[in-house]
A and B are shown apart, each in its own frame.
Chain A
Amino acid sequence: MALVKTQTDEPITVDARQAGRDCASLMVQLAASDPTARRWAARDLVDCPDAAPALVARLKQEADVSVREVILTTLTSLGDATAVAGLVDCLRSEDVALRNEAIEAMQKLPDAVAPMMRGLLADSDPDVRIFAVNILESLCHPEVETWLIEVIDRDSHVNVCGTAVDLLGEVGTVSARESLLRLQVRFADEPYIRFATDLALGRLREA
Protein backbone atom coordinates (compact mmCIF):
# COMPACT_ATOMS: atom_id res chain seq x y z
CA MET A 1 0.00 0.00 0.00
CA ALA A 2 1.33 3.38 -0.95
CA LEU A 3 2.06 5.90 1.72
CA VAL A 4 0.08 9.11 1.28
CA LYS A 5 1.30 12.32 2.81
CA THR A 6 -1.25 13.95 5.07
CA GLN A 7 -2.08 17.43 3.88
CA THR A 8 -2.28 20.16 6.47
CA ASP A 9 -3.24 23.79 6.39
CA GLU A 10 -1.49 24.61 9.65
CA PRO A 11 0.94 27.48 9.29
CA ILE A 12 4.63 26.60 9.51
CA THR A 13 6.28 28.09 12.56
CA VAL A 14 8.91 30.55 11.43
CA ASP A 15 12.06 30.70 13.56
CA ALA A 16 12.35 34.41 12.91
CA ARG A 17 14.28 37.24 14.46
CA GLN A 18 11.99 39.30 16.68
CA ALA A 19 14.03 42.25 17.92
CA GLY A 20 16.56 44.88 16.89
CA ARG A 21 19.59 43.69 14.94
CA ASP A 22 22.13 46.37 15.82
CA CYS A 23 25.14 45.09 17.78
CA ALA A 24 24.14 46.66 21.09
CA SER A 25 20.63 45.15 20.90
CA LEU A 26 22.00 41.75 19.93
CA MET A 27 24.31 41.70 22.95
CA VAL A 28 21.35 42.46 25.21
CA GLN A 29 19.35 39.67 23.57
CA LEU A 30 22.05 37.15 24.46
CA ALA A 31 20.43 37.18 27.89
CA ALA A 32 16.83 36.82 26.63
CA SER A 33 14.68 34.23 28.37
CA ASP A 34 13.70 32.65 25.05
CA PRO A 35 16.47 30.35 23.73
CA THR A 36 15.40 31.05 20.15
CA ALA A 37 16.05 34.77 20.65
CA ARG A 38 19.43 33.98 22.23
CA ARG A 39 20.31 31.68 19.35
CA TRP A 40 19.47 34.30 16.72
CA ALA A 41 21.40 36.94 18.64
CA ALA A 42 24.46 34.71 18.86
CA ARG A 43 24.23 34.00 15.17
CA ASP A 44 23.82 37.61 14.06
CA LEU A 45 26.65 38.84 16.29
CA VAL A 46 29.02 37.32 13.75
CA ASP A 47 28.85 40.73 12.00
CA CYS A 48 29.85 42.59 15.18
CA PRO A 49 33.65 42.69 15.55
CA ASP A 50 33.51 43.58 19.27
CA ALA A 51 31.08 40.83 20.23
CA ALA A 52 33.56 38.28 21.60
CA PRO A 53 33.51 39.39 25.28
CA ALA A 54 29.70 39.23 25.44
CA LEU A 55 29.63 35.87 23.67
CA VAL A 56 32.29 34.40 25.96
CA ALA A 57 30.43 35.64 29.04
CA ARG A 58 27.18 34.10 27.77
CA LEU A 59 28.87 30.83 26.81
CA LYS A 60 29.95 30.18 30.39
CA GLN A 61 26.39 30.29 31.67
CA GLU A 62 24.40 29.06 28.66
CA ALA A 63 22.54 25.83 29.42
CA ASP A 64 20.87 25.34 26.02
CA VAL A 65 23.07 23.14 23.84
CA SER A 66 21.80 24.59 20.56
CA VAL A 67 22.54 28.15 21.71
CA ARG A 68 25.99 27.10 22.87
CA GLU A 69 26.68 25.59 19.48
CA VAL A 70 25.86 28.86 17.74
CA ILE A 71 27.92 30.89 20.22
CA LEU A 72 30.90 28.63 19.54
CA THR A 73 30.40 28.90 15.78
CA THR A 74 30.29 32.69 16.01
CA LEU A 75 33.35 32.80 18.29
CA THR A 76 35.18 30.57 15.80
CA SER A 77 34.21 32.93 12.96
CA LEU A 78 35.37 35.96 14.93
CA GLY A 79 38.56 34.12 15.91
CA ASP A 80 40.09 37.15 17.66
CA ALA A 81 42.22 37.13 20.80
CA THR A 82 39.24 37.51 23.15
CA ALA A 83 37.36 34.69 21.45
CA VAL A 84 40.33 32.34 21.68
CA ALA A 85 41.05 33.33 25.29
CA GLY A 86 37.41 32.59 26.12
CA LEU A 87 37.70 29.15 24.55
CA VAL A 88 40.89 28.47 26.50
CA ASP A 89 39.03 29.43 29.67
CA CYS A 90 36.40 26.80 28.87
CA LEU A 91 39.10 24.11 29.10
CA ARG A 92 39.13 24.78 32.86
CA SER A 93 35.36 24.35 33.19
CA GLU A 94 33.86 21.51 35.22
CA ASP A 95 31.28 21.13 32.44
CA VAL A 96 32.61 18.23 30.34
CA ALA A 97 30.37 18.97 27.36
CA LEU A 98 31.48 22.63 27.29
CA ARG A 99 35.13 21.58 27.45
CA ASN A 100 34.68 19.22 24.52
CA GLU A 101 32.81 21.86 22.52
CA ALA A 102 35.64 24.34 23.17
CA ILE A 103 38.22 21.77 22.06
CA GLU A 104 36.31 21.24 18.82
CA ALA A 105 36.07 24.99 18.25
CA MET A 106 39.79 25.52 18.89
CA GLN A 107 40.66 22.77 16.43
CA LYS A 108 39.12 24.98 13.75
CA LEU A 109 41.42 27.92 14.58
CA PRO A 110 44.95 26.66 13.91
CA ASP A 111 46.44 30.10 13.21
CA ALA A 112 44.99 31.67 16.35
CA VAL A 113 45.62 28.69 18.60
CA ALA A 114 49.14 27.79 17.44
CA PRO A 115 50.92 30.73 19.15
CA MET A 116 49.51 29.71 22.52
CA MET A 117 49.92 25.96 22.14
CA ARG A 118 53.27 25.68 23.91
CA GLY A 119 51.80 27.63 26.84
CA LEU A 120 48.80 25.30 27.05
CA LEU A 121 51.02 22.24 26.85
CA ALA A 122 53.02 23.62 29.78
CA ASP A 123 49.98 24.57 31.89
CA SER A 124 50.25 23.77 35.59
CA ASP A 125 47.03 21.70 35.43
CA PRO A 126 47.63 18.26 33.86
CA ASP A 127 43.98 18.07 32.77
CA VAL A 128 44.46 21.25 30.69
CA ARG A 129 47.64 19.77 29.20
CA ILE A 130 45.66 16.65 28.23
CA PHE A 131 42.95 18.82 26.62
CA ALA A 132 45.69 20.73 24.77
CA VAL A 133 46.91 17.43 23.31
CA ASN A 134 43.28 16.65 22.40
CA ILE A 135 43.17 19.94 20.47
CA LEU A 136 46.22 18.83 18.48
CA GLU A 137 44.29 15.75 17.34
CA SER A 138 42.49 17.69 14.63
CA LEU A 139 44.55 20.89 14.51
CA CYS A 140 45.84 21.14 10.97
CA HIS A 141 49.23 22.66 11.76
CA PRO A 142 52.74 21.65 10.66
CA GLU A 143 54.12 21.81 14.22
CA VAL A 144 51.80 19.20 15.69
CA GLU A 145 54.34 16.38 15.72
CA THR A 146 57.07 18.65 17.14
CA TRP A 147 54.77 19.67 20.02
CA LEU A 148 53.86 16.05 20.74
CA ILE A 149 57.52 15.03 20.81
CA GLU A 150 58.25 17.88 23.23
CA VAL A 151 55.43 16.62 25.45
CA ILE A 152 56.71 13.07 25.70
CA ASP A 153 60.27 14.31 26.22
CA ARG A 154 59.43 16.73 29.03
CA ASP A 155 56.08 16.14 30.70
CA SER A 156 56.26 14.28 34.00
CA HIS A 157 52.57 13.27 34.06
CA VAL A 158 51.92 9.77 32.78
CA ASN A 159 48.48 10.53 31.35
CA VAL A 160 49.64 13.64 29.49
CA CYS A 161 52.38 11.54 27.90
CA GLY A 162 49.95 8.67 27.29
CA THR A 163 47.54 10.96 25.45
CA ALA A 164 50.40 12.35 23.34
CA VAL A 165 51.61 8.84 22.49
CA ASP A 166 48.11 7.85 21.40
CA LEU A 167 48.14 10.73 18.91
CA LEU A 168 51.72 10.08 17.80
CA GLY A 169 50.53 6.63 16.80
CA GLU A 170 48.31 8.38 14.25
CA VAL A 171 50.43 11.33 13.06
CA GLY A 172 53.99 10.40 14.10
CA THR A 173 56.93 9.92 11.79
CA VAL A 174 60.32 8.31 12.43
CA SER A 175 61.33 11.65 13.99
CA ALA A 176 59.43 10.55 17.11
CA ARG A 177 61.19 7.21 17.45
CA GLU A 178 63.97 8.14 19.88
CA SER A 179 61.60 10.09 22.13
CA LEU A 180 59.16 7.17 22.26
CA LEU A 181 61.98 4.82 23.23
CA ARG A 182 63.13 7.23 25.97
CA LEU A 183 59.55 7.44 27.26
CA GLN A 184 59.40 3.66 27.61
CA VAL A 185 62.44 3.82 29.87
CA ARG A 186 61.09 6.79 31.83
CA PHE A 187 57.80 5.00 32.60
CA ALA A 188 59.17 1.47 32.70
CA ASP A 189 56.74 0.48 35.46
CA GLU A 190 53.63 1.53 33.52
CA PRO A 191 52.27 -1.28 31.32
CA TYR A 192 50.00 1.17 29.46
CA ILE A 193 52.94 3.31 28.34
CA ARG A 194 54.79 0.19 27.18
CA PHE A 195 51.70 -0.90 25.23
CA ALA A 196 50.99 2.53 23.70
CA THR A 197 54.61 3.26 22.74
CA ASP A 198 55.05 -0.19 21.15
CA LEU A 199 51.90 0.45 19.15
CA ALA A 200 53.03 3.94 18.10
CA LEU A 201 56.55 2.76 17.20
CA GLY A 202 55.03 0.17 14.90
CA ARG A 203 52.96 2.83 13.12
CA LEU A 204 55.54 5.58 12.56
CA ARG A 205 55.70 6.83 8.99
CA GLU A 206 58.70 8.08 7.02
CA ALA A 207 59.36 11.78 7.71
Chain B
Amino acid sequence: MKRILIIDDAATVRLYHRQILEAANFAVEEAMNGIEALEKVLQSSFDLYLVDINMPKLDGYGFLRELRSGDLPQVPAIMISTEAQPADEQRAYAAGANLYVIKPVKPDQLLAQVRVLLGEVAQ
Protein backbone atom coordinates (compact mmCIF):
# COMPACT_ATOMS: atom_id res chain seq x y z
CA MET B 1 0.00 0.00 0.00
CA LYS B 2 1.44 3.39 -1.03
CA ARG B 3 1.99 5.82 1.85
CA ILE B 4 1.13 9.50 1.60
CA LEU B 5 2.02 12.26 4.08
CA ILE B 6 -0.47 15.17 4.28
CA ILE B 7 1.13 18.37 5.59
CA ASP B 8 -1.41 21.08 6.41
CA ASP B 9 -2.20 23.16 9.50
CA ALA B 10 -5.98 23.06 8.89
CA ALA B 11 -7.50 20.01 10.57
CA THR B 12 -10.53 20.00 8.27
CA VAL B 13 -8.36 20.02 5.15
CA ARG B 14 -6.23 17.15 6.47
CA LEU B 15 -9.34 15.15 7.25
CA TYR B 16 -10.86 15.87 3.81
CA HIS B 17 -7.74 14.77 1.96
CA ARG B 18 -7.30 11.76 4.24
CA GLN B 19 -10.85 10.60 3.56
CA ILE B 20 -10.38 10.83 -0.22
CA LEU B 21 -7.04 9.02 -0.16
CA GLU B 22 -8.02 6.28 2.28
CA ALA B 23 -11.15 5.54 0.24
CA ALA B 24 -8.78 4.87 -2.66
CA ASN B 25 -6.69 2.48 -0.54
CA PHE B 26 -3.73 4.71 0.23
CA ALA B 27 -2.16 4.72 3.70
CA VAL B 28 -2.15 8.26 5.11
CA GLU B 29 -0.21 10.08 7.80
CA GLU B 30 -0.60 13.72 8.81
CA ALA B 31 1.67 16.56 9.90
CA MET B 32 0.55 20.01 11.05
CA ASN B 33 3.59 21.92 9.77
CA GLY B 34 6.91 21.51 8.03
CA ILE B 35 8.86 20.71 11.18
CA GLU B 36 6.52 17.89 12.15
CA ALA B 37 6.66 16.64 8.57
CA LEU B 38 10.47 16.52 8.58
CA GLU B 39 10.34 14.53 11.83
CA LYS B 40 7.99 12.02 10.21
CA VAL B 41 10.11 11.81 7.08
CA LEU B 42 13.11 10.92 9.27
CA GLN B 43 11.13 8.24 11.08
CA SER B 44 9.51 6.41 8.18
CA SER B 45 9.26 6.37 4.42
CA PHE B 46 6.53 7.80 2.20
CA ASP B 47 5.70 7.58 -1.49
CA LEU B 48 4.21 11.07 -1.88
CA TYR B 49 3.78 14.34 0.01
CA LEU B 50 0.78 16.69 -0.13
CA VAL B 51 2.10 20.04 1.08
CA ASP B 52 0.26 23.22 2.07
CA ILE B 53 2.11 26.56 1.85
CA ASN B 54 0.98 28.66 4.81
CA MET B 55 1.83 26.86 8.01
CA PRO B 56 3.35 28.03 11.30
CA LYS B 57 6.88 27.04 12.42
CA LEU B 58 7.98 25.88 8.95
CA ASP B 59 5.94 26.68 5.84
CA GLY B 60 5.53 24.48 2.77
CA TYR B 61 8.30 26.15 0.77
CA GLY B 62 10.67 25.72 3.72
CA PHE B 63 9.74 22.07 4.11
CA LEU B 64 10.39 21.34 0.43
CA ARG B 65 13.70 23.22 0.45
CA GLU B 66 14.87 21.26 3.52
CA LEU B 67 13.68 18.02 1.98
CA ARG B 68 15.26 18.57 -1.42
CA SER B 69 18.58 19.84 -0.10
CA GLY B 70 19.01 17.24 2.62
CA ASP B 71 20.07 13.62 2.70
CA LEU B 72 16.46 12.44 2.84
CA PRO B 73 14.38 10.01 0.76
CA GLN B 74 13.25 11.88 -2.36
CA VAL B 75 9.69 11.24 -3.51
CA PRO B 76 7.23 13.46 -5.43
CA ALA B 77 5.45 16.33 -3.72
CA ILE B 78 2.18 18.03 -4.64
CA MET B 79 1.83 21.54 -3.27
CA ILE B 80 -1.81 22.32 -2.54
CA SER B 81 -2.59 25.92 -1.65
CA THR B 82 -5.26 28.59 -1.58
CA GLU B 83 -2.79 30.95 -3.25
CA ALA B 84 -3.58 31.20 -6.92
CA GLN B 85 -1.04 33.66 -8.34
CA PRO B 86 1.43 32.44 -11.02
CA ALA B 87 4.28 33.57 -8.75
CA ASP B 88 3.10 31.20 -6.02
CA GLU B 89 3.26 28.31 -8.46
CA GLN B 90 6.73 29.32 -9.66
CA ARG B 91 7.98 29.52 -6.08
CA ALA B 92 6.56 26.07 -5.38
CA TYR B 93 8.44 24.51 -8.30
CA ALA B 94 11.61 26.37 -7.34
CA ALA B 95 11.33 24.95 -3.82
CA GLY B 96 11.01 21.40 -5.14
CA ALA B 97 7.33 20.69 -5.80
CA ASN B 98 6.45 18.36 -8.67
CA LEU B 99 2.92 19.67 -9.11
CA TYR B 100 0.97 22.74 -7.96
CA VAL B 101 -2.74 22.46 -7.23
CA ILE B 102 -5.11 25.19 -6.05
CA LYS B 103 -7.57 24.46 -3.24
CA PRO B 104 -10.20 23.26 -2.89
CA VAL B 105 -9.60 20.04 -4.77
CA LYS B 106 -12.30 17.73 -6.03
CA PRO B 107 -11.81 14.06 -5.08
CA ASP B 108 -11.46 12.73 -8.64
CA GLN B 109 -9.01 15.48 -9.54
CA LEU B 110 -6.84 14.81 -6.49
CA LEU B 111 -6.78 11.04 -7.05
CA ALA B 112 -5.89 11.42 -10.71
CA GLN B 113 -2.96 13.70 -9.86
CA VAL B 114 -1.79 11.47 -7.02
CA ARG B 115 -1.82 8.41 -9.28
CA VAL B 116 0.11 10.17 -12.02
CA LEU B 117 2.85 11.20 -9.59
CA LEU B 118 2.96 7.71 -8.10
CA GLY B 119 3.48 6.27 -11.57
CA GLU B 120 0.11 4.57 -11.59
CA VAL B 121 -2.36 4.80 -14.45
CA ALA B 122 -4.88 7.60 -13.90
CA GLN B 123 -8.42 6.23 -13.78
Contact = CB atoms under 8 A, between A and B. Distances in A.
A195 B17 CA distance: 10
A199 interface: yes
Contacts of B83: 127
A160 to B, nearest CB: 8
A75 interface: no
B12 interface: yes
A195 B106 contact: no
Interface string B84-123: 0001000100000000000111110000000000000000
Given A158-B104, A159-B104, A191-B107, A96 B15 contact: no
Contacts of B55: 100
Interface string A38-57: 00000000000000000000
A180 interface: no
Contacts of B12: 162, 165-166, 169, 195-196, 199-200
A158 B102 CA distance: 11
A96 B54 contact: yes
Contact of A159 (B59, B62, B103, B107): B103
Interface in A117-161: 126-127, 130-131, 134, 158-159
Contacts of A199: 12, 15
A68 interface: no
Interface of A (DSSP majority class): helix
Contacts of B11: 166, 169-170
Contacts of A29: none
A113 B47 CA distance: 43
Interface in B53-80: 53-56, 59-62
Contacts of A162: 12, 82, 103-104
Contacts of A200: 12
Interface string B1-31: 0000000001111011001000000000000
A116 interface: no
A191 B54 contact: no
B46 to A, nearest CB: 23
Interface of B: 10-13, 15-16, 19, 53-56, 59-62, 82-83, 87, 91, 103-107
24 contacts: A96-B53, A96-B60, A100-B54, A100-B55, A100-B56, A100-B59, A104-B56, A126-B82, A127-B83, A130-B54, A130-B82, A131-B54, A159-B103, A162-B82, A163-B82, A166-B13, A169-B12, A190-B104, A191-B104, A193-B104, A195-B15, A195-B19, A196-B12, A200-B12
- Counting from the closest, the 5 A-B pairs by CB-CB distance are A192-B104, A159-B82, A96-B59, A166-B12, A196-B12
